[in-house]
A and B are shown apart, each in its own frame.
Chain A
Amino acid sequence: TQLLEQSPQFLSIQEGENLTVYCNSSSVFSSLQWYRQEPGEGPVLLVTVVTGGEVKKLKRLTFQFGDARKDSSLHITAAQPGDTGLYLCACGGATNKLIFGTGTLLAVQP
């Protein structure tokens, strides 16, 4: 069974700091999606990465797909309180169903 592990589980930082969260798989994945979930709402897709080594930027967020296609990272520059939320990675598993990681809960203090 393919597993997605995210680290850290929790992160509390001050506004303006930089941070990186990680998503690691026990198996190679074909693609990976990153979602953000705000309190009381459903997850919303941020980005999909497909190619090994791929880097995508979304304003202050930088997403990287590992060369070996078993890991991904999300870097946030100059975090803002609006970045607060649960960050989830998800990939297509061996059964072609989407598997979600357990998430990183980020709190950005003003």
Chain B
Amino acid sequence: NAGVTQTPKFRVLKTGQSMTLLCAQDMNHEYMYWYRQDPGMGLRLIHYSVGEGTTAKGEVPDGYNVSRLKKQNFLLGLESAAPSQTSVYFCASSTTWTGVFNSPLHFGNGTRLTVT
């Protein structure tokens, strides 16, 4: 049982390049999330999905797009990378809406992205 798998683990981009981060979960969770983690700022929610085919903006959505075409996959795209997007990105999933029903978030191991 792999849980939440993120690819790639590391990536270096030049300003203006694009890329897609992949997240896959095998727990049949309805809810999926993308967070970024920066020193001194904790985890901040970028986008989330409450089910297949749905997406919504989180706290820091600018510069990112997402898609959830299949229940098990949640993709995060950067269309034109900027140095401010240098961060560690985490995907997570949960059975119910974690902010209300206290269900735990299951995290992947992150993607470390550097934009030069």
Chain A residues at the B interface, C-beta cutoff of 8 Å: 4, 9, 31, 33, 35, 40-45, 48, 50, 88, 90, 92-93, 95-98, 100-103
B113 within 8 A of A: no
| Contacting residues, chain A, for B4 (C-beta < 8 A) | 42
Instruction: Using CB atoms, name the residue of chain B closest to A50.
Output: B102
Q: Determine whether the beta carbon of B43 is less than 8 Å from that of A88.
A: yes
Q: Min CB distance, A82 to chain B, in Å? A: 18
Q: Determine whether the beta carbon of B99 is less than 8 Å from that of A42.
A: no
Q: Which of B70-105 contact A (CB under 8 A)?
A: 90, 92, 97-100, 102, 104-105
* Pairs A-B, 7 closest by C-beta atoms: A42-B107, A45-B104, A92-B99, A100-B43, A100-B42, A96-B99, A102-B42
Q: Determine whether the beta carbon of A44 is less than 8 Å from that of B40.
A: no
Q: Determine whether the beta carbon of A98 is less than 8 Å from that of B99.
A: yes
B41 within 8 A of A: yes
> What is the bound-complex CA distance between A100 and B102, given in angstroms?
13
The SS class assigned to the A binding surface is loop
Instruction: Using CB atoms, name the residue of chain B closest to A95.
Output: B99
Q: Determine whether the beta carbon of A102 is less than 8 Å from that of B108.
A: no
Q: Min CB distance, A24 to chain B, in Å? A: 14
Q: Which of B44, B58, B108 contacts A42 (CB 8 A)?
A: B108
Q: What would be 7 A-B contacts, judged by CB atoms less than 8 Å apart?
A: A43-B90, A88-B43, A92-B98, A92-B99, A95-B99, A96-B100, A100-B43
> What is the bound-complex CA distance between A37 and B46, given in angstroms?
19
Q: Determine whether the beta carbon of B100 is less than 8 Å from that of A92.
A: yes
B62 within 8 A of A: no
Q: Which of B40, B100, B105 contacts A102 (CB 8 A)?
A: B40
B22 within 8 A of A: no
Q: Determine whether the beta carbon of B41 is less than 8 Å from that of A102.
A: yes
| Contacting residues, chain A, for B45 (C-beta < 8 A) | 97-98
Q: Determine whether the beta carbon of B99 is less than 8 Å from that of A41.
A: no
Instruction: Using CB atoms, name the residue of chain A closest to B35.
Output: A100
> What is the bound-complex CA distance between A60 and B48, given in angstroms?
35
Q: Which of B53-78 contact A (CB under 8 A)?
A: 58-59
